[in-house]
């Protein structure tokens, strides 16, 4: 027999592969970049630390890309995306593509390399990073473009074309993905020095020529489809903004002839007006919709879809980790096929899979039953293709029946349902839960007991998390040290933190949270209804990832969670010690939530569990309890029509946690942002006794709320210094900020505290900063 060389073998496999697998009408909007074991994170961080070369980083990235393309090709996906990889962020990639580098980064033209790119992302020795903000209602953060009339746009990064060619060389013709020009502008902010009134959309005719160049180059390289992500279309845009889409895509049309254009929308139902504008775009071949979040888009499609165009039907959830209910999806797809035509429907994901975990295969610690209910990105790819095959009459019966069996086991599993919890939670709906007395009367009662000075000082909860502390927790978890040793070590830490605060003369103390890894995980691990993954990471920003817990069943609290540590801490001091809890809305918003009941029901269940904890804390003599709702605003739906309902049940859930406490028990809450001008009435409606909020990076925003006449009767502690920075604020500086607040807020409701928890700081920063903070409060007390 003749010996075959490796390369003929490869060719043969590739040929066979193409011959046997007919690709179905299936599409993936985007895919996680980090890698199944966060390979990209480690490669990036090692490169940033100077421990590896740019080539090393490029190699890891190329390997990740090729394995993703291969995986999708093997699964039979027809429309495989490229350029959904990024070294940091896809919006920043677009900024690089357009050459829109802010002048302070010293770019002198030419192809943008790692230097300039990572300086924009992370800052460098002399210049801070560009601003970062949340990508719609996800926990992903993008780098905000800074644009003004002066920016000279030019084609300065060929990444999208390079990636297309890279895939092509591997035998995969991909669909290059670009952040659409209109969403790009709508996600930007005016550069420093540019008036607020500057219209970002007025730049559209300046960026379109670059887009045209890119598209032309992609066409020459062999692309037949291009995907433009325009998620802004799901926001409630006015007609002026909608017109920008019509303008942009008719402009682009000339360079697009013979190319198929897909406009992809996601994260919510698309408003009727936007749907009309979008589907009227002439040069566009396909439209992608999120059919998981909301059901109104489906009605719009049923009400009319342009003939001859492709519908990319996003039925597989890109925001969650649950296996798709394939039978139900197939029904939806068949109904849609009846409307748009047989060869015009493409099965897709609801949005990029960037927002879900990567691969279930690596979850070796999850038990089999729960695992059968889940699908991470890699599994979702298979689901998309199986649905497309079924739609074309080639249903994989075995796959579908295994899926049906898993769905049925999830529905009937006794692990999911807890009758008592279901009953208690549904009894809450429609009723209200409030403390009996109003907040100013409560504050008076509390003051009699607490006897705090005016401008009382406190901190937000955590103290520095040292290496030793992490080690102790790790070793205890791994059973390398005994419970006794662990308790001893944590107790010593708490004692140290208590003594430190007493020494600093802080008025209301915290125990420092040394026993907690993460404010949600700590509670999730002690509540039933939660499971945890080993590798279920989701990119948050740059190389940072989070690993959200999975809420799979009814939530209950088998036993007290924080009483042991809080009462121990209280016993160490005469001063009030704050009990420290994470609120139900934050636990919900930072988890993968079950999709078999409305979110509010799950939230009410968590609220009841936290309520039990609040009551137990109160019973052991804790008089001040802080219930953090760091992520309350994060869950706010994108569509205005849905916001009031969310705020109503979210705020109600918070009130449930503490509606039963005595007037003498002071309830605090904490929030990590200050741009809540639009939700201030909901925040007042939470009816906490004291709220501490982030503020130091945006004094003005926060204070303007009160300047505009909003009456705030409860205690309020706008952060007096930024804990995200190692800088130590001086006494004068802090006093100055407090004075600014006193100009709009009554002195008897003002608290003095940092912005957020101190866990990422060093003691060498925390001690002088807190000491200056207390000094500033004392200084002002003498002047009031």
Site mask for ligand GLN (CB under 6 A), range 513-532, x = bound: x-----x-------------
Interaction of residue 406 with ligand GLN, rule CB under 6 A: no
- What is the Cα–Cα distance from 531 to 553, expressed in whole angstroms? 9
- What is the Cα–Cα distance from 440 to 761, expressed in whole angstroms? 35
* Residues 635-694 contacting Zn ion, CB under 5 A: 672
- Least distance (Å) from ligand GLN to the CB of residue 497? 12
Choose one: 102-110, 313-321, 410-418, 751-759; the region binding ligand GLN (CB under 6 A). 751-759
Is the Cβ of residue 293 or residue 578 nearer to ligand GLN in the bound state? 578
724 is catalytic: yes
Is the Cβ of residue 349 or residue 589 nearer to ligand GLN in the bound state? 589
Give the total of residues touching ligand GLN (CB under 6 A). Answer: 13
Any binding-site annotation on 658? no
Q: Give, in order, the Cα–Cα distances in Å from 385 to each of 125, 378, 405, 414, 536.
A: 48, 11, 19, 32, 22
Provide the edge-to-edge strand list for the sheet that holds 24-27. Answer: 77-79, 24-27, 345-349, 310-316, 286-290, 260-264, 225-229, 175-179, 81-82
Any binding-site annotation on 59? no
| 3-class SS string, 547-599 | CCCEEEEEEECCCCCCHHHHHHHHHCCCCCEEEEEECHHHHHHCCECCCCCCH
* Residues 563-602 contacting ligand GLN, CB under 6 A: 580
124 CB-contact burial (10 Å; exposed 0-12 / middle 13-18 / buried 19+): middle
- What is the Cα–Cα distance from 455 to 749, expressed in whole angstroms? 8
Q: Residue 628: which of ligand GLN, Zn ion, none does it interact with, CB under 5 to 8 A by kind?
A: ligand GLN
Any binding-site annotation on 672? yes
- Least distance (Å) from ligand GLN to the CB of residue 692? 9
Any binding-site annotation on 603? no
DSSP 726: -
**Strand segments (E) across 35-126:** 77-79, 81-82
- Least distance (Å) from Zn ion to the CB of residue 499? 24
Interaction of residue 631 with Zn ion, rule CB under 5 A: no
51 CB-contact burial (10 Å; exposed 0-12 / middle 13-18 / buried 19+): exposed
Please identify which residue in 628, 634, 687, 689 interacts with ligand GLN, judged by CB under 6 A.
Answer: 628
| 3-class SS string, 504-557 | HCCCEECCECCCCCCCCHHHHCCCEEEECCCCCCEEEECCEEECCCEEEEEEEC
* Residues 427-486 contacting Zn ion, CB under 5 A: none
Interaction of residue 755 with ligand GLN, rule CB under 6 A: no
Q: Residue 759: which of Zn ion, ligand GLN, none does it interact with, CB under 5 to 8 A by kind?
A: ligand GLN
- Measured from the Cβ of residue 190, the count of other Cβ atoms closer than 10 Å reads 16
- What is the Cα–Cα distance from 303 to 308, expressed in whole angstroms? 16
- Least distance (Å) from ligand GLN to the CB of residue 543? 20
Site mask for Zn ion (CB under 5 A), range 753-772, x = bound: ---x----------------
Residue 586: how many CA atoms within 13 Å on its side-chain side?
A: 21
The residue number with the shortest CB distance to ligand GLN is 757
- What is the Cα–Cα distance from 591 to 485, expressed in whole angstroms? 31
Q: Among the options 27, 240, 247, 724, which is catalytic?
A: 724
Site mask for ligand GLN (CB under 6 A), range 442-481, x = bound: ------------------xxx-------------------
Contact set with ligand GLN (CB under 6 A): 460-462, 513, 519, 580, 628, 630, 670, 672, 756-757, 759
Contact set with Zn ion (CB under 5 A): 630, 672, 756
Query: Where is the binding site for 5-methyltetrahydropteroyltri-L-glutamate, in residues?
Result: 41, 139, 544-545, 590
Query: Where is the binding site for L-homocysteine, in residues?
Result: 460-462, 628
Residues annotated catalytic, as ranges: 724
């Amino acid at each position: 027999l003749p010996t075959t060389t490796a390369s003929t073998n490869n060719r043969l496999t590739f040929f066979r592969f193409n011959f046997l697998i007919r690709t179905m009408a299936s599409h993936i909007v985007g895919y996680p970049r980090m890698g199944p074991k966060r390979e990209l994170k480690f490669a990036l961080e090692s490169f940033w630390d100077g421990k590896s070369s740019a080539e090393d980083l490029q190699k890891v990235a190329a390997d990740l890309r090729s394995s993703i393309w291969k995986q999708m090709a093997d699964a039979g996906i027809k429309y495989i995306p490229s350029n959904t990889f990024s070294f940091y962020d896809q919006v920043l990639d677009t900024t690089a593509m357009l050459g829109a580098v802010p002048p302070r980064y010293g770019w002198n033209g030419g192809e943008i390399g790692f230097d300039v790119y990572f300086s924009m992302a992370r800052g460098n020795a002399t210049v801070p990073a560009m601003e970062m903000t949340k990508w719609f209602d996800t926990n992903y953060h993008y780098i905000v473009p800074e644009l003004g009339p002066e920016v000279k746009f030019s084609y300065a990064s060929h990444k999208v074309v390079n990636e297309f060619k890279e895939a092509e060389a591997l035998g995969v013709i991909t669909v290059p993905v670009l952040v659409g020009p209109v969403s790009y502008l709508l996600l930007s902010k005016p550069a420093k020095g540019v008036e607020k009134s500057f219209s970002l959309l007025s730049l559209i005719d300046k960026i379109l020529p670059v887009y045209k160049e890119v598209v032309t180059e992609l066409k020459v390289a062999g692309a037949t489809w291009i995907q433009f992500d325009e998620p802004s279309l799901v926001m409630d845009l006015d007609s002026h903004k909608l017109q920008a889409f019509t303008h942009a895509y008719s402009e682009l049309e000339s360079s697009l002839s013979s190319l198929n254009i897909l406009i992809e929308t996601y994260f919510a139902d698309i408003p009727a007006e936007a749907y009309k504008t979008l589907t009227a775009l002439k040069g566009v071949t396909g439209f992608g919709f999120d059919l998981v979040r909301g059901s109104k888009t489906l009605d719009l499609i049923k009400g009319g879809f342009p003939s001859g165009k492709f519908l990319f039907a996003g039925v597989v959830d890109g925001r969650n980790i649950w296996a798709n209910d394939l039978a139900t999806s197939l029904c939806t797809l068949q109904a849609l096929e009846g409307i748009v035509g047989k060869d015009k429907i493409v099965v897709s994901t609801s949005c990029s899979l960037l927002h879900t975990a990567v691969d279930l295969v690596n979850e070796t610690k999850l038990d089999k039953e729960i695992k059968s209910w889940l699908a991470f990105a890699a599994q979702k790819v298979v689901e998309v293709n199986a649905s497309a095959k079924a739609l074309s009459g080639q249903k994989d019966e075995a796959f579908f029946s295994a899926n049906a069996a898993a769905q049925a086991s999830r529905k009937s599993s006794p692990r999911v349902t807890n009758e008592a919890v279901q009953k208690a939670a549904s009894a809450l709906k429609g009723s209200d839960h409030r403390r009996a007395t109003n907040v100013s009367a409560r504050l008076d009662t509390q003051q009699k007991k607490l006897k705090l000075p005016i401008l009382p000082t406190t901190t937000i909860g955590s103290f520095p998390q040292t290496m030793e502390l992490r080690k102790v927790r790790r070793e205890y978890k791994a059973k390398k040290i005994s419970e006794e040793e662990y308790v001893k070590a944590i107790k010593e830490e708490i004692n140290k933190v208590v003594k430190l605060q007493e020494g600093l003369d802080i008025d209301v103390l915290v125990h420092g949270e040394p026993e907690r890894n993460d404010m949600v995980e700590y509670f999730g691990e002690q509540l039933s209804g939660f499971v945890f993954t080993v590798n279920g990471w989701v990119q948050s920003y740059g190389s940072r990832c989070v690993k959200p817990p999975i809420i799979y069943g009814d939530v209950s609290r088998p036993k007290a969670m924080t009483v042991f540590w809080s009462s121990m801490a209280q016993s160490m001091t005469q001063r009030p010690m704050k009990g420290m809890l994470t609120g139900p809305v934050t636990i919900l918003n930072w988890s993968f939530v079950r999709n078999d009941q409305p979110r509010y029901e799950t939230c009410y269940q968590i609220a009841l569990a936290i309520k039990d904890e609040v009551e137990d804390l109160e019973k052991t003599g804790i008089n001040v309890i802080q219930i953090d709702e760091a992520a309350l605003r994060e869950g706010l739906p994108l569509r205005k029509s849905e916001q009031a309902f969310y705020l109503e049940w979210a705020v109600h859930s918070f009130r449930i946690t503490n509606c039963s406490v005595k007037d003498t028990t002071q309830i605090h809450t904490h929030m990590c942002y200050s741009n809540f001008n639009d939700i201030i009435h909901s925040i007042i409606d939470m009816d906490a006794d004291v709220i501490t909020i982030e503020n130091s990076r945006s004094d003005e925003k926060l204070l303007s709320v009160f300047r505009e006449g909003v009456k705030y009767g409860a205690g309020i502690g706008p952060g007096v210094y930024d804990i995200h920075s190692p800088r130590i604020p001086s006494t004068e500086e802090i006093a100055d900020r407090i004075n600014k607040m006193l100009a709009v807020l009554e002195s008897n409701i003002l608290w003095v505290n940092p912005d957020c928890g101190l866990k990422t700081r060093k003691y060498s920063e925390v001690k002088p900063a807190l000491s200056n903070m207390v000094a500033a409060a004392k200084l002002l007390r003498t002047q009031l």
